[in-house]
Structure 1
């Protein structure tokens, strides 16, 4: 459905460290820094891209109230690794601890974090 998602960052270096850690815990390659057309880090997969960039308008980055970006996790252990890596890399754990939840969509394993710029992200494992 999506080709890419971009998040604003006030400190690209801190965000690069954070996203390398959390996405690495999910099995993704480190991000590639690019300063054109604006400074940022890009994470590419065969199905899409995530950009963590400075805002084009030069104003400070801010997070979306009510917005969350979810990343697929291969196992419950990957969800926990995501959460631990994120906190170790400067993120903040939010909501309940990483682990199983009963949701309207069935049982899932979830972990929610705020990145260094306040963006809300999560890791999701849906048992088969």
Structure 2
């Protein structure tokens, strides 16, 4: 549904370490660094994710109420994603990883904030 998602960062090295780890648990190869433009991109067959130092020179900030969701193949993979994030500078947020009953369907969700405060979610559809 999207071509790419890009978030701002104040620390490219911390972002690379964090996202290489969490996205690696989802089968995504390490990010490619564009040192000329201060950006890093992770690519998969389904889309692209990137981090950048803000072009306008202002400090990076996160969206209040915004969430970036990553597809997980299983609850176990979502748990690995969450653990990798916490081990690499992320912080757990929302409820602990687990099943959420949404009425017509059930989801397994795991939430994190990256080192810059962006809210992320690994989601696996159970039904």
Fold match by TM threshold 0.5: yes
Aligned to 1:115: 114
Aligned length: 127
Partner of 1:92: 91
1:41 offset after TM fit, Å? 1.0
Report the 3-state secondary structure (helix = DSSP H, G, I; strand = E; otherwise coil) of the residue aligned with 1:77: helix
Match of 2:30 in 1: 30
- Match for residue 68 of structure 1? 67
User: Unaligned stretches of 5+ in structure 2?
Assistant: none
SS at match of 1:116: coil
| TM-fit CA distance, 1:46 | 2.0
Q: Note the residue ranges of structure 1 that are not aligned, 5 or more in a row.
A: none
Aligned 1:5-20 pairs, distance under 5 A: 5-20=5-20
- 2:49 is matched with 50
TM-score scaled to structure 1, two decimals?
0.94
**Higher share of residues assigned strand:** 1
The 1:70/1:100 distance shift into structure 2, 3 A limit, reads: same
Q: Is the 8 A contact 1:97 1:111 kept in 2?
A: yes
Q: Deviations over 1:26-63 (max 9, x none)?
A: 11111111123x20210011221111111000111000
> Is the CA contact (8 Å cut-off) linking 1:101 and 1:109 kept in structure 2?
yes
RMSD (CA atoms): 1.1
| Runs of 4+ displaced beyond 3 Å | none
Question: Aligned pair in 2 of structure 1 residues 31, 100: CA closer, same or farther (>3 Å)?
Answer: same
CA drift at 1:105: 5.3
